Chains A and B, each alone.
Chain A
């Protein structure tokens, strides 16, 4: 009896070949709780196969390789912790178009002096990105 091909799960596959999009994620990774949350969320999004985290500090230096990678991506996702919008400004300074922009304080999470966070806080940011809440 001929065997039937099994369906393939696209988890972990971020390539366009899988019907998904090649995304690059820049978290602001700022020192405040909300900035740190962007980093944790970007790591989780990478692990879930949404896209690939990249270093916004390196982008700020004008790294030619990273700018080229960002320009090659199907979507650029920026995660800012607060309304200072540092990561978005860095991307704009390198003429990188932004497809989705999330500001953590805009999701009801408060910027404060404590760096305490919960798994729910990370989930709030991660699910907002999957939902496309910051799509431009």
Chain B
């Protein structure tokens, strides 16, 4: 199985924590092999071009910025 790399960008605020929690639940429910990385370094977030947090990238591609996606949407992103 190919491992998916999921990055959650945020500086530790509540919405970033909620997105991380939803990502973990979506990955668990899908049963996929995923590496979940929390990116909380402001310089790295800026370097990646993220202007609104929380944000989410899958295999390097930015999928969500500035909001918390719910589990259903995350499953669609990760499963599709």
**A residues apposed to B, CB below 8 Å:** 4-11, 18-21, 48-50, 127, 130-133, 135
Give the residues in chain A near B14, CB-CB below 8 Å: 11, 48-49
Q: Is the CB of B70 within 8 A of A10?
A: no
Contact digits for B40-72, partner A, Cβ 8 Å, 1 yes 0 no: 001001100011111000000000011110111
Q: Is the CB of A20 within 8 A of B66?
A: yes
Give the residues in chain B near A50, CB-CB below 8 Å: 68
A85 to B69, CA, bound (A): 26
Q: Is B3 an interface residue (CB 8 A)?
A: no
Give the residues in chain B near A4, CB-CB below 8 Å: 46
Task: Give the total of B residues in contact with A, Cβ under 8 Å.
Answer: 27
Q: Is the CB of B71 within 8 A of A132?
A: yes
Given contacts A7-B45, A7-B52, A8-B53, contact A130 B18 (CB under 8 A): yes
Give the residues in chain B near A48, CB-CB below 8 Å: 14-15, 18
Q: Is the CB of A11 within 8 A of B46?
A: no
Among B21, B50, B67, B72, the most chain A Cβ lie within 10 Å of the Cβ of: B67
Given contacts A11-B13, A11-B15, A19-B65, contact A131 B22 (CB under 8 A): yes
Given contacts A4-B46, A6-B46, A49-B15, contact A19 B71 (CB under 8 A): no
A10 to B67, CA, bound (A): 7
Given contacts A19-B66, A20-B67, contact A10 B15 (CB under 8 A): yes
Whose C-beta in chain B lies nearest to the C-beta of A11?
B13
Which of A6, A7, A19, A135 sits near B67, CB closer than 8 Å? A19
Give the residues in chain B near A127, CB-CB below 8 Å: 18, 21
Q: In the assembled complex, how far is the CB of residue A132 from the closest CB belonging to chain B, in whole angstroms?
A: 3
Whose C-beta in chain B lies nearest to the C-beta of A4?
B46
Q: In the assembled complex, how far is the CB of residue B69 from the closest CB belonging to chain A, in whole angstroms?
A: 8
Given contacts A19-B66, A20-B67, A131-B70, contact A9 B11 (CB under 8 A): yes
Q: Is the CB of A131 within 8 A of B71?
A: yes
Give the residues in chain B near A133, CB-CB below 8 Å: 71
